Amino acid sequence: MTYKIAVSGASGYAGGEVLRLLAGHPEVEIGAVTAHSSAGERLGSLQPQLIPLADRVLTETTAENLAGHDVVFLALPHGASGEIAAQLGEDTIVIDAAADHRLESASAWEQFYGSAHQGAWPYGLPELPGQRARLAGARRIAVPGCYPTTIMLGLAPALGSGLVQPDDIVIVAATGTSGAGKALKPHLLSAEVIGGMSPYGVGGVHRHTPEIEQGLSTAAGVPVQISFTPTLAPMSRGILATSTAKLAPGTTEAQLRDAYRQQYDAEAFVHLLPEGQWPSTKQVIGSNHVTMQLAVDAHAGRAVIVSAADNLTKGTAGGAVQSMNIALGLDETTGLNLLGVTP
Ligand X SMILES: NC(=O)C1=CN([C@@H]2O[C@H](COP(=O)(O)OP(=O)(O)OC[C@H]3O[C@@H](n4cnc5c(N)ncnc54)[C@H](OP(=O)(O)O)[C@@H]3O)[C@@H](O)[C@H]2O)C=CC1
Instruction: Convert residues 299-318 into a mask of x (bound to ligand X by CB under 6 A) and - (unbound).
Output: ------------xx--xx--
Q: Which of residues 48-67 bind ligand X (CB under 6 A)?
A: 61
The CB-of-99 to ligand X minimum distance in angstroms stands at 6
Contact between 98 and ligand X2W by CB under 6 A: the answer reads yes
CB nearer ligand X, residue 119 or residue 221: 119
Contact between 97 and ligand X by CB under 6 A: the answer reads yes
Contact between 181 and ligand X by CB under 6 A: the answer reads yes
Distance of CA 190 to the CA centre of its chain: 24
The three-state secondary structure class of 4 is: strand
Instruction: Give 182's Cβ-side CA count (13 Å radius).
Output: 18
The CB-of-141 to ligand X2W minimum distance in angstroms stands at 14
The verdict on whether 146 is a catalytic residue reads: yes
Binding partner of 302, given ligand X2W, ligand X, none, CB within 5-8 angstroms per partner class: none
Burial degree of 325 (CB within 10 A; 0-12, 13-18, 19+): buried
Contact between 18 and ligand X2W by CB under 6 A: the answer reads no
Backbone angles phi, psi at 214, to 5 degrees: -60, -50
Given 124, 154, 230, 279, the residue binding ligand X2W (CB under 6 A): 230
Binding partner of 232, given ligand X2W, ligand X, none, CB within 5-8 angstroms per partner class: ligand X2W
The three-state secondary structure class of 167 is: strand
- Among the candidate windows 9-17, 156-164, 212-220, 324-332, which touches ligand X by CB under 6 A? 9-17
Contact between 287 and ligand X by CB under 6 A: the answer reads no
Number of residues that bind ligand X (CB under 6 A): 30
Strand-pair partners of 295: 304
Contact between 304 and ligand X2W by CB under 6 A: the answer reads no
Contact between 28 and ligand X by CB under 6 A: the answer reads no
Distance CA 19, CA 12 (A): 11
The three-state secondary structure class of 157 is: helix
Contact between 271 and ligand X by CB under 6 A: the answer reads no
Q: Which of residues 99-138 bind ligand X2W (CB under 6 A)?
A: 99
Which one of the listed residues 21, 146, 259, 324 is annotated catalytic?
146
CB nearer ligand X, residue 188 or residue 304: 188
Contact between 232 and ligand X2W by CB under 6 A: the answer reads yes
**E-assigned strand segments in the chain:** 3-8, 28-35, 59-60, 71-74, 93-96, 140-142, 164-175, 198-199, 226-232, 239-247, 270-272, 290-297, 302-309
Tell me the pairing of strands 290-297 and 93-96.
unpaired
CB nearer ligand X, residue 85 or residue 226: 85
Contact between 146 and ligand X by CB under 6 A: the answer reads yes
Residue nearest to ligand X2W (CB): 179
Q: CA Rg, the chain, in Å?
A: 19
Tell me the pairing of strands 239-247 and 198-199.
unpaired
Contact between 24 and ligand X by CB under 6 A: the answer reads no
Binding partner of 86, given ligand X, ligand X2W, none, CB within 5-8 angstroms per partner class: none
Residues that bind ligand X2W (CB under 6 A): 98-99, 145-147, 175, 177, 179-180, 230, 232
- Residues with catalytic annotation? 146
